[in-house]
Amino acid sequence: MASLELRGCLEKELSEACQKLGLKSFRAGQLFRWVQLNAVRSWEEMHNIPESERRKLQTMLYLSPLKLLREQQARDGTHKYLFGLEDGECIESVLMNYERELSRNRHTVCISTQVGCAVGCAFCATGLGGFRRNLSVGEIVGQVLEISRSIARKDPPAKVTNLVFMGMGEPLLNYEAVLKSLEILNRETGQNIGMRRMTLSTSGVAPKIRQLGRDNPQVGLAVSLHSALDSVRNVLVPINRRYPLRELMAACTEYIRLTNRRITFEVALTSENVKRESAEALGKLLKGCLAHINLIPVNPVAETNMLKPKTEEISQFAGILESYAIPVSIREERGTDINAACGQLRGQWKVDRNESFSSL
């Protein structure tokens, strides 16, 4: 039985497979381009590879496209995709602000790395259902490939240029698969997405932050900080009990030393935590650190009852941080009307599974 997932293979692995099967080595390059550049969904589409060779390749390699179960479009042009996996699990991915970004030739895709999430942050829909499983490399890369294929067919054709690992799941708890996905998506003969145009967001898996600094110093890093106080962060981001702020910040300092890259610290703001004291504490914690703060007005999740702060409150909060000479930006809300914004992805398997599967 074929055991290698085509979409999860680097060209060198395809070369080894070709060699074992007695095929010419240039086939590996052709195969990689069909899969990673053209995003084919079937072997039949690879028409410059003779059928006899395709059959041989199928003894070692399998192609497993994601099933598009539903595509929704928000008022702001953001698209959300619900994908079905081989075992019936579902994940969501987001293409941000498609129409507006068209004029800038910039298209950012937000992808998932796990089905569900074990971290269980207080305001996040993904964590509510608990952890189901890690995604494979092919399933991570596959989300970009399906969206890339879809926008390449639009008029005018478009290309995925930026990637954020900010969908469902904690990327650093699926570390090896995420690292390999970055490598594949960065390949010039594939999607060719610059390493610096890809960003991982983590809830704060301190040892893996250090390891990332050594393994891949080019990819962008965002840390979901949310609070500078352990007592608050323990509740909002429960992984803080395992890696408290002192340990997290030591890992971030080490990461900055290794990479000389600025870390983006994400801070979700609710009507509860938008207080002056919270801003002062964050300012003190991050003062002098190569940091940027991204404020995220909390997006509604039915089960949590958290409310967005008022615009003036957010500006005041930003002002306090700026007084510590920390650059601040406020994240624009995207696709909230279709639950496609930060923390709203849940791969709606319970709600939608029957309806969606039967309608395709």
Catalytic residues: 92, 342
**By C-alpha distance, which of 251, 257, 260, 264 is closest to 224?**
264
By CB under 6 A, which span of 17-25, 112-120, 136-144, 178-186 interacts with ligand SF4? 112-120
For tokens 């696709």, name the residue.
335
Cβ at position 124, least distance to ligand SAH in Å: 4
**By C-alpha distance, which of 198, 223, 195, 197 is closest to 209?**
223
* Dihedral angle computed from the Cα positions of residues 203, 97, 336 and 138, in that order, rounded to the nearest 10 degrees: -50
For tokens 């891949």, name the residue.
216
For tokens 């699926």, name the residue.
174
What angle do helix axes 137-152 and 175-186 make, rounded to 10 degrees?
Answer: 30
By CB under 6 A, which span of 43-51, 163-171, 297-305, 350-358 interacts with ligand SF4? 163-171
Cβ at position 200, least distance to ligand SAH in Å: 8
The DSSP bridge pattern shows strands 198-202 and 220-224 to be: parallel
Binding characters for ligand SAH, 299-318, by CB under 6 A (x = yes) = x-x-----------------
* Dihedral angle computed from the Cα positions of residues 344, 238, 219 and 144, in that order, rounded to the nearest 10 degrees: -30
Q: Is the peptide bond before 238 cis (omega within 30 degrees of 0)?
A: no
Binding characters for ligand SAH, 107-126, by CB under 6 A (x = yes) = --------------x-xx--
Query: Which option in ligand SAH, ligand SF4, none does residue 120 bind, with CB closer than 5 to 8 A by kind?
Result: ligand SF4
| Nearer to ligand SF4 (CB atom), residue 158 or residue 173 | 173
Cβ at position 203, least distance to ligand SAH in Å: 4
| Nearer to ligand SF4 (CB atom), residue 61 or residue 212 | 212
Cβ at position 24, least distance to ligand SAH in Å: 42
Number of amino acids touching ligand SF4 (CB under 6 A): 13
